């Protein structure tokens, strides 16, 4: 019988063999690898930590449980597996064709009504605060630029700045959080829940149906996670950008 140290085993087979002994963190890594092997193969540990809250130590321990010397060796095997899968599938689409197909996928899964609803929520807010951690901050900046163009009272704040929101929030404010899956803002949302006055409504824009902030947010928009769409890797910012442009189409300029 093959064991997890058997070099003839595929990396996915090794994970399945070791799964009964996985911790909760191991299972989170397992699900991520199963769903998004290309993302793992192409992304640095710093970005994985930013997107999913998984530490370098956790990734290393997971790799060693599968019989690898460390995470780099594990990542190499993931890359080999991903390349092999693409070769077997015979994928020949050009990068532009990939984007076109995935934007159509976005249209199918994310109906226009949701974007209009999000735009309405933003329009009703007296002030809009927008934030995102690491790469998700780019989405926060993009939405902020769009809102400022429409003369909205909008402010883009980094993770270390948004924690002061209780000092400057006003009645009717809205906090928009862009987050792939990282639980970075859990403490912030918990503190907002304790505010007795000028408590902002919270809108979460994410790529994860199981985001830890979902149940604590007033509005949740789960975008199609196209990194796990048929054999192609798509940056999270692509989906965030598509959502923002759809929202902008429904916004009306405010009086200056």
Q: What is the C-alpha to C-alpha distance for residues 246 and 240, in angstroms, rounded to an integer? A: 10
Residues of the chain with pLDDT under 70: 1-8, 82-96, 98-99, 102, 109-112, 225-234, 255-256
Place of tokens 């994928």: 91
Query: How many residues belong to the chain?
Result: 256
Instruction: Please report, for the chain, the start and end positions of each structural domain, with discontinuous segments joined by +.
Output: 11-89, 95-248
C-alpha R_g of the chain? 20
pLDDT in tens, 198-207: 999 999 999 8
Question: Candidates 3.40.47.10, 3.40.50.10490, 3.30.360.10, 3.10.310.10; correct CATH number of 95-248?
Answer: 3.40.50.10490
Sign of CA dihedral 85, 90, 93, 94: positive
What are the beta bridge partners of residue 130? Answer: 156, 176
pLDDT at 13: 86
pLDDT at 44: 82
CATH of domain 11-89: 1.10.10
Question: Mind giving me the DSSP string for 102-163?
Answer: HHHHHHHHS-HHHHHHHHHHHHH-SEEEEEESTTHHHHHHHHHHHHHHTT--EEE--HHHHT
Q: Is the pTM of this model over 0.75?
A: no
Q: What is the C-alpha to C-alpha distance for residues 248 and 115, in angstroms, rounded to an integer? A: 9
């Amino acid at each position: 019988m093959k064991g997890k140290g058997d070099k003839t085993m595929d990396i996915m087979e090794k994970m399945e063999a070791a799964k009964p002994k996985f911790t909760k963190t191991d299972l989170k890594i397992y699900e991520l690898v199963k769903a998004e092997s290309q993302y793992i193969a192409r992304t640095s540990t710093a970005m994985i930590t930013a997107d999913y809250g998984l530490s370098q130590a956790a990734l290393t321990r997971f790799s060693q449980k599968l019989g690898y010397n460390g995470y780099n060796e594990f990542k190499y095997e993931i890359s080999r597996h991903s390349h092999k899968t693409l070769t077997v599938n015979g994928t020949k689409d050009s990068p532009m064709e990939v984007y076109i197909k995935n934007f159509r996928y976005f249209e199918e899964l994310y109906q226009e009504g949701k974007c209009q609803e999000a735009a309405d929520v933003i329009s009703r807010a007296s002030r809009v605060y927008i934030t995102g951690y690491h790469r998700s901050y780019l989405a926060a900046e993009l939405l902020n630029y769009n809102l400022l163009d429409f003369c909205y009272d909008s402010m883009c704040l980094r993770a270390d700045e948004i924690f002061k929101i209780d000092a400057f929030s006003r009645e009717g404010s809205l906090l928009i959080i862009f987050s792939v899956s990282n639980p970075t803002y859990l403490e912030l949302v918990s503190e907002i829940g304790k505010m007795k006055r000028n408590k902002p409504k919270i809108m979460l824009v994410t790529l994860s149906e199981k985001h830890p902030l979902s149940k604590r947010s007033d509005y949740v928009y789960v975008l199609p996670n196209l990194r796990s769409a048929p054999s192609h890797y798509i940056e999270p910012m692509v989906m965030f950008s598509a959502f923002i442009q759809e929202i902008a189409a429904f916004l009306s300029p405010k009086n200056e």
